Amino acid sequence: MAANSTSHSQAEAAPGILQIFRLDGRTAVVTGAGRGLGLSMAAALAQAGTQIAIFDVNLADAEEAASSIASKGGKAIAAKIDVTDAQQVQQGIKMAIDAFGGMDILVNNAGITSRSPFEDLEEEDWERVLKVNMGGTYQCSRQAARYWIDADKSGSIINIASISGFVGNRGGLNSHYCATKGGVVALTRSLAVEWAPHSIRVNAIAPGYFATPMTDRLKNINRAFYDELVGRVPLGRFGSPPDLAGAVIYLASDASIYVTGHVLVIDGGYTAW
Ligand code: NAD
């Protein structure tokens, strides 16, 4: 009888467990969400109940992304924000807070890359990629944290790193990009420790190869190499942007309340061998 009543109460509790993944009434800023992985993660967060502020240097894409989220019943606003510009980031965060009454989640997704043998890499390219991938993470994270610390609120930061932060990108000719992603991994761990006393959690997602405009370029440059990379993924395909949905909701929500400083690799097994 005792055993039966235990399993009965567990069965009753089961549907409630999914509530810890809900994000109703929370606000997320997602950078570089006009397209690609950022757009897909923003759409997933919106479906879980989050109000979304889309920051992108490409305003037309940002507005289209916001409309597509709104057309599915979500709440989203868009702004032309360059994440490397301190003033624009400040204005963007203020806009999100004013529009939605606060901010709870920051997804540092905006990122760029370029290709060059490292020995020929122009200083301008080195600086540009560092400025967006690491500099943008710096600008947005510190300004979000300043808001949370001053308001005595908790927050969740999700940095989009890459498996390129862990392994050499064979044939990628983008060691400068890999350096920035390694930097994002280190920053994730360090800020998690530094801001833990303020209840600000800092985690990262490290995607493997995903099918987006960023990797489509590779397909056009060298189709044979693209096919070889796909062949190296144990799950047999490049990721599709919605494959990150579960991870971003997990890290944004109370489901990961005791998780900070973690880097979640999502690569179809690419780095497992
Ligand atoms: P993408 O090029 O399709 O999208 C990037 C978005 O960021 C674009 O909308 C672009 O306009 C925006 N952006 C660029 N510079 C910006 C700036 N200074 N300020 C604001 N917005 C800016 O790229 P993606 O493939 O969707 O990649 C998104 C993130 O995921 C990047 O950080 C990338 O490094 C990372 N990533 C991608 C892959 C992949 O296979 N696609 C793998 C690992 C990591």
User: Among this protein's residues, is 177 annotated catalytic?
Assistant: yes
Residue nearest to atom 34 of ligand 1 (CA): 111
Rounded to the nearest angstrom, the gap between the alpha carbon of residue 72 and the centroid of all alpha carbons in its chain is 21
Collect all residues with Cβ–Cβ distance below 8 Å to 225 and sequence separation of at least 6. Answer: 171, 218
Which band of pLDDT confidence, cut at 50, 70 and 90, is reported for residue 14? Answer: low
> Helix, strand, or coil here: 269?
coil
111-150 pLDDT, tens digit each: 999 999 999 999 999 999 999 999 999 999 999 999 999 9
State the catalytic residue, choosing from 177, 209, 226, 250.
177
What is the Å distance from ligand 1's center to 3 Cα? 52
Which residues' Cβ are closer than 6 Å to ligand 1? 31-32, 34-38, 55-58, 61, 81-84, 109-112, 132, 136, 160, 162, 207, 209-210, 212-215
> Which structure tokens are listed for 65?
């992304």
- pLDDT tens for 58-114 read 999 999 999 999 999 999 999 999 999 999 999 999 999 999 999 999 999 999 999
Q: Is a pLDDT exceeding 70 seen at residue 181?
A: yes
* Amino acid making up residue 158: I
Output the DSSP codes for 196-222: GGGTEEEEEEEE--B-SHHHHHHHHH-
